[in-house]
Structure 1
Amino acid sequence: MIDILLHVLEEMKDGVIRFFEQDTEVKKQWYTRDFIKVFQYNSNFDLFGAPVTNWRDTFTAIIAPTPPNPEILPSVCRDILLEYTNQVMELGDTLFELLSEAIGLEPNHLKDMDCTKCLFALGHYYPACPQPELTLGTSKHADNDFLTVLLQDKIGGLQVLHQNHWVDVPPTPGALVINIGDILQASSFTFSIPLITNDKFKSVDHRVLANKVGPRISLACFFMTNCVTTHRLYGPIKELISE
């Protein structure tokens, strides 16, 4: 099993804070809503399309399959972002091997389907909110990917929907949260049919509360399909389909 060292986890969280707590004049050079940019910084990617605005700022970085040119990443978090995500890629290999074996497949089955090919990193910064009852940090959703590796700080606020009740996911020092994504399941909310594991795994609806304490930060790494153009079609694995 691949372990990500504690000092790397802590430095990654510090790197997220360093980026967002730069002077606005410095940060705005990365501000964009051009989704083809390798590195983006904005407030709410769906600001002009969503019914509500979430209480957060975000940066995103396309990490794989084509490693980013370090020169286009912010210097305040560049080195640790590349080091951390490289280790997440290695962890992802192990996780997908375990998931393959858990559903009775060969260890490399999901990797051979390119489930580990693309990695998208997303850093959230949730400032302290004076009226947290009026908003959310992140609205209810399930991740539209294969698998998510989430690093969160000690403040908390993440909740999952379980049996129609919102349940806290308290942060555990030195631990990562692993979410099954829609494409690995998928959920009926996103797709009309279950996808590659034919409902053997379940994606989970989750949200993040706003908080009077802050800032809260997190870094989510998504193993997904849409970092590059692909003509590959995904459907239920034939070994998992019954008559």
Structure 2
Amino acid sequence: MAAAADVTPPSYHRAKAVKEFDESKMGVKGLSDSGITSIPEFFVHPPHSLSDLKLTSKAAVSLPVIDLADLEYADRRPAIVDQVKEAAKTWGFFQVVNHGLPVSVLEDTIRAVRAFHDQPRDVKAKYYKREEGRGVMYASNNDLYRAEAASWHDSLQAWMGPEPLPPGELPDVCRWEVAAWDGHARGVAEKVMELLSEGLGLERGRFKELTFSESRAFVGHCYPYCPEPDRTMGITPHTDPGIVTVLLQNGIKGLQVKHGREWVEVSPVHGGLIINVGDFLQIVSNGEYKSVQHRVVANSEKEPRISIVMFFNLSKWKGSGHYGPLPELLSPERPAIYRDFTDREFFDNFFGKGLDSKSLIEKIKIQN
């Protein structure tokens, strides 16, 4: 069968178009607000990557929802530990409710992040840059120059730890809400990390002792209306690199999680937060917990989808500068399935390419 014809005009220069878009600092929100009816060519994804966007009706399973209300009752906690362990092993994702944060706090945080993205281009532009890994950065697609095709989202990113970020560096319109959310999300993450630690047979505070909640990155995504949602992605399939991720979102659907061979749409639970396992936790748990692929489809709703993500990672490495499976989880019956790796390997792997799935895990897996 003959290959499909390339419909890209011969005069089209992708690198030039990407650079012009980036330097305009308008983001996809600016493109969407301008009233365009077709998306720029560099946002168009190859057909093979879009072939399974339409979910089958049989994908009726849903993400586990875990109620944390009885967490501090000694007789009820073991059952919650078991639920979290099972979800982390089989799904890599779960939603938590009764986590201790009032709905008003969640709504205020979403409203503040949307307010940032709703500002005029010239107001947001002073934060637009591509200096990943520190400070505050607003940009469209952190991997814009590395990915095969751009995706339909903008992001406000702030590194909140391990060194405290001075609130004055955050944009005025969402300053106090983002600073407060750092503390709120960390509190929920540490509760969940205790449960995950207990699920591995470790002491409740082991993950905190290992600094798993000290290195934190806040990301406030905006997925504006896309005029051609069947030709692009909100975010391409990937796994998160860190320990755990805490996700807060508004009511617009879009997140999908790979479960077995099928993609499952995640329906937001009012007042709930989504937790997912990162690659790093899969490694340190020696494969007990699973980091799984997830993606966001392009938004076909007129209302923007707002997604607020807190990534948690360890901040202190072993004295040798290496990290790998926790020694206390290893035995002759359960040997390490991953080798140790360096912080340089970890960061070079993440920042040296576009979003992808488990590439570090595949590189350090011990082949039997």
Match of 1:22 in 2: 119
Contact 2:162 2:315 in 1 (8 A): no
Matching residue's letter, 1:209: V
| Partner residue of 1:145 out of 229, 242, 250 | 242
Offset at 1:184?
A: 0.2
Match of 1:198 in 2: 286
Offset at 1:232?
A: 4.2
Task: Note the 1:25-40 alignment, pairs <5 A.
Answer: 25-40=122-137
Structural RMSD (CA): 1.7
Q: Deviations over 1:176-198 (max 9, x none)?
A: 0000000000xxxxxxxxx2101
Match of 1:208 in 2: 296
> Secondary structure of 1:76's partner?
helix
Cα separation, 1, equivalents of 2:272 and 2:155: 22
Matching residue's letter, 1:207: R
Contact 1:61 1:121 in 2 (8 A): yes
4+ residue runs over 6 A deviation: none
Matching residue's letter, 1:111: K
> Secondary structure of 1:242's partner?
coil
Say if 1:115 and 1:68 are closer, same or farther in 2 by CA, change over 3 A.
same
Q: Deviations over 1:19-38 (max 9, x none)?
A: 00001010000000012541
Matching residue's letter, 2:290: K
Is the counterpart of residue 86 in structure 1 residue 174 in structure 2?
Answer: no
Matching residue's letter, 1:211: N
Match of 1:242 in 2: 331
Is the counterpart of residue 49 in structure 1 residue 135 in structure 2?
Answer: no
Offset at 1:146?
A: 0.1
Cα separation, 2, equivalents of 1:13 and 1:227: 31
Contact 2:213 2:314 in 1 (8 A): no
Identical aligned pairs, as a percentage? 39
Offset at 1:5?
A: 1.5
Match of 1:112 in 2: 209
Match of 2:255 in 1: 158
Offset at 1:233?
A: 2.4
| Partner residue of 1:217 out of 300, 303, 306 | 306
Cα separation, 1, equivalents of 2:322 and 2:195: 23
Contact 1:152 1:217 in 2 (8 A): yes
> Secondary structure of 2:184's partner?
helix
User: Is there any run of 5+ residues in structure 2 with no aligned partner, and where?
Assistant: 1-70, 72-98, 333-368
Cα separation, 2, equivalents of 1:80 and 1:240: 39
Contact 2:248 2:274 in 1 (8 A): yes
What TM-score do you get using the length of structure 2 for normalisation? 0.61
Is the counterpart of residue 177 in structure 1 residue 265 in structure 2?
Answer: no
Q: Deviations over 1:144-181 (max 9, x none)?
A: 00000000110111001111111101111100000000
Match of 1:134 in 2: 231
Contact 1:62 1:227 in 2 (8 A): no
Offset at 1:116?
A: 1.1
